[in-house]
Amino acid sequence: MRSQKLLYVIPVLLCATILFAGGFANSEPDGAAESSSEELSSSSEENFDKMMAVLMHKRCVNCHPNDNIPKQGEDSHPHYFGMARGEGNLGYQATTCNTCHQSENNDYSGVPGAPEWSLAPESMKWEGLTRTEIAESMLDPKRNGGRTHHEVMEHLTEHELVLWAWEPGIDAAGNPRELPPVPVDEYIEAVKAWFEEGAVIPAE
Amino acid sequence: MKISFTINGQAQSIEIEDGNTPLLWVVRDMLDLKGTKFGCGKAACGACTLHVDGEAIRSCSYAVKFAEGKNVTTIEGLGTRENPHPVQQAWVEHVVPQCGYCQPGFMMATAALLEKNPNPTDEDIDNNIINVCRCATYVRMRKAIHRAAELTQSANQTS
Domain boundary among B54, B78, B102: B78
B149 and B97, same domain (yes or no): yes
Q: What does the pLDDT read at residue A38?
A: 52
| Beta-carbon separation of B63 and A106 below 8 A | yes
B54 and B92, same domain (yes or no): no
A137 within a domain of the structure (yes/no): yes
N- to C-terminal Cα distance for chain B?
43
| Beta-carbon separation of A82 and B62 below 8 A | no
Domain boundary among B45, B78, B111: B78
Of the pLDDT bands very low, low, confident and very high (cuts 50, 70, 90), residue A203 is confident
Residue B138, Cβ density class (10 Å: 0-12 exposed, 13-18 middle, ≥19 buried): middle
Give the chain B residue whose CA is nearest to the CA of A172. Answer: B42
CATH number at residue B31: 3.10.20.30
Q: Which amino acid is at B155?
A: A
Please report the ipTM that was assigned to this predicted complex: 0.94
Q: Record the pTM.
A: 0.86
pLDDT tens, residue by residue, B46-99: 999 999 999 999 999 999 999 999 999 999 999 999 999 999 999 999 999 999
Residue numbers in A near B124 (CB within 8 A): 92-93
CATH number at residue B142: 1.10.150.120
Q: What does the pLDDT read at residue B155?
A: 84
A1 within a domain of the structure (yes/no): no
| Beta-carbon separation of B63 and A104 below 8 A | yes
| Beta-carbon separation of B63 and A96 below 8 A | no
Domain with A177 in it = 46-196
Asked if A43 is an interface residue toward chain B (Cβ–Cβ < 8 A), one would say: no
Domain with B40 in it = 2-78
Cβ count within 10 A of residue A68:
12
B69 and B110, same domain (yes or no): no
User: At CB < 8 A and 24+ separation, what contacts does A61-66 make?
Assistant: A61/A126, A61/A127, A63/A118, A63/A119, A63/A120, A64/A119, A64/A120, A64/A124, A64/A125, A64/A126, A64/A127, A65/A119, A65/A125, A65/A127, A66/A125, A66/A126, A66/A127, A66/A128, A66/A129
Give the chain B residue whose CA is nearest to the CA of A173. Answer: B42
The beta-carbon neighbor of B43 closest among A82, A94, A100 is A100
Domains of chain B: total: 2
The beta-carbon neighbor of A109 closest among B61, B66, B116 is B61
| Beta-carbon separation of A109 and B66 below 8 A | no
B60 and B127, same domain (yes or no): no
Q: Which amino acid is at A74?
A: E
